Amino acid sequence: MDTRVLIVGAGPTGLALAGELMRRKVDCILIDSLEGPLHWDRATVVHPRTLELLDTVGLADELVEAGVSQRHLHIYSDGEKLGEMDLAESGSEFGFNLNVSEEVTESVLTGHLERQGGSVRQGHRLTAMRQEPDRVVATVEHSDEVMEIEAEWVVGCGGLHSPVRELSGIEFEGHDIAAPWAVFDVTLTGWPHGYDCNFAFLDRDPVIITALPGERWRAYVRPAAPDSALVGDAAAVITRYGPGVSLDDVANPTRFHCHTKVAARYREGRALLAGDAAHVVSPSQGHGMNTGIQDSFNLAWKMAMVCHGHADASLLDSYEAERRPVARRVAASGDDFESAQGILDEAGRGERNGAIRDAYANEESRRQEVLAEAELNISYAGSPIVIGGEPVEGPGAGDRFVDPAFEMPTGFGHTLLVVAHGEDLAAEAVASLDPKVSRAFESTVTLGPDSGAPDRLGVEVASFFAIRPDGHVGCRSDGAGTQPIEDYVDLLRAGGRGAAEGN
């Protein structure tokens, strides 16, 4: 066997997955068909939830230092402001979008991979693949050489035309987006508004601008015509909101077409999909790259458990069960935005603008918009590998765990959190666990009454939380009962609810 995992595609998703597998001592080979990393790529925004995950492996600070933080988002149309959101209201430690060009994000992830002893094999193209009961045999071409790589698993992260997806016969369901987009980097000389903001101008030819380091901007433009001057298209809108602004030092003007597609399934035997191989969406909300990176953090810990023999291979089915609904929701949201910003008739635009204005004027609906933008509204409550009912307060099974007294560990495995109204109660609860169960957790953390956590989390006496490596609650057991935690460990080892019931 040449490697445990072959990863095809070295964009942000593939790099994140390879780095996290290598960090967990799972050998992998990462290949990419390009001869070298891109020197410019159009994706920009890294959302708060992605920053939280990157922070668990020590990468958030490096990325934040390289980018520009944008706390506020402003929406305009037809010369008037419709609403704004403040991402600090999300409650995340990272209460902002980070704007940084995609190639910089890739370089940070590449450095992480290299520190784990990995690297990218550039100029390697997957051309064939056959699955056997215990392995995948991949045919890879490099220059004039043809080689075979044997792996236990293969993960396709290779974009719209993913060879892993196509060779696995997995359908890519969805549609093309008819109207093209364009993008370029620019200096907005004389810009009168804030630099820590994102601006969406939903005029007849929409423009979205996001800040970049060096007081530059990245402009996403809907071209007015197939042969129109992109800078002129953008200037016609931007100068409406900043009279006298000039667009200078334009770089990398690029037209591109988009698609809304989600793979019919994320696994076929020993082949899995992640990132753009599994889903492509409208760029209008900036969620595509982030969804891919989050795929990787979800898949990596599960694949490591399987490769190390700590869980049945059916655990990997929970990856699709958790992540495919997220991709479908992001795709639908992008389509809704595409439809809304493409309205041309006056009555329709007036109705749309009124709906946006009302949504942002209402505190609760604005909060929901903030959480969606920050990507903090994702829950795996229906997952086949979570246990626990709906709590009275605080995060339940499947939810992202957050509490000001708890800092997510930077290890590899699960954390057992015990929250109790007394230190003795916490100690007794931990001592009552079967040692075989205790060993399933990399670390144990207790929060007593002085932390305030029991009251914030609705804990009456004592509660157990099994916190997964991706920060979601695998199990919540209220009342100091240990059986649900033991059941959760058994469930993981068996590979999930469907697998456990079939045994």
Q: 281-332 pLDDT, tens per residue? A: 998 888 999 999 999 999 999 999 999 999 999 999 999 999 999 999 999 9
Q: Are 53 and 471 in contact (CB under 8 A)?
A: yes
| pLDDT at residue 286, rounded to an integer | 84
Binned at pLDDT 50, 70 and 90, residue 500 comes out as: very low
Name every residue whose Cβ is closer than 8 Å to that of residue 286 and which is 6 or more positions away in sequence. Answer: 43, 44, 45, 47, 97, 210
Sign of CA dihedral 478, 484, 486, 490: negative
Sign of CA dihedral 215, 235, 82, 102: negative
| pLDDT at residue 232, rounded to an integer | 93
**Residue 352 or residue 431, greater confidence:** 352
Beta bridge partners of 46: 98
Residue 429 has pLDDT above 90, yes or no: no
> Please, what is the average pLDDT of the chain?
93
Name every residue whose Cβ is closer than 8 Å to that of residue 415 and which is 6 or more positions away in sequence. Answer: 408, 409, 441, 442, 443, 444, 445, 466, 467
| pLDDT at residue 503, rounded to an integer | 37
Q: 161-200 pLDDT, tens per residue? A: 999 999 999 999 999 998 899 999 999 999 998 888 899 9
| pLDDT at residue 206, rounded to an integer | 93
Q: 35-55 pLDDT, tens per residue? A: 998 887 788 999 999 999 999
pTM of the complete model: 0.95
Q: Which of 113-117, 178-182, 217-221, 467-471 has the lowest mean pLDDT?
A: 178-182
Three-state secondary-structure class, residue 44: coil
Query: What dihedral do alpha carbons 323, 328, 330, 332 form, nearest 10°?
Result: -170
Query: Sheet harboring 462-467: ordered strands across?
Result: 441-447, 414-420, 462-467, 473-478
DSSP letter (8 states) at residue 422: S
| pLDDT at residue 278, rounded to an integer | 98
Distances (CA, A) of 59 to 10, 62, 260, 444, 486: 18, 5, 30, 24, 33
The string over 40-57, giving b where at least 16 C-beta atoms fall within 10 Å of a residue's C-beta and e elsewhere, is ebbbbbbbbbbbbbbbbb
| pLDDT at residue 502, rounded to an integer | 47
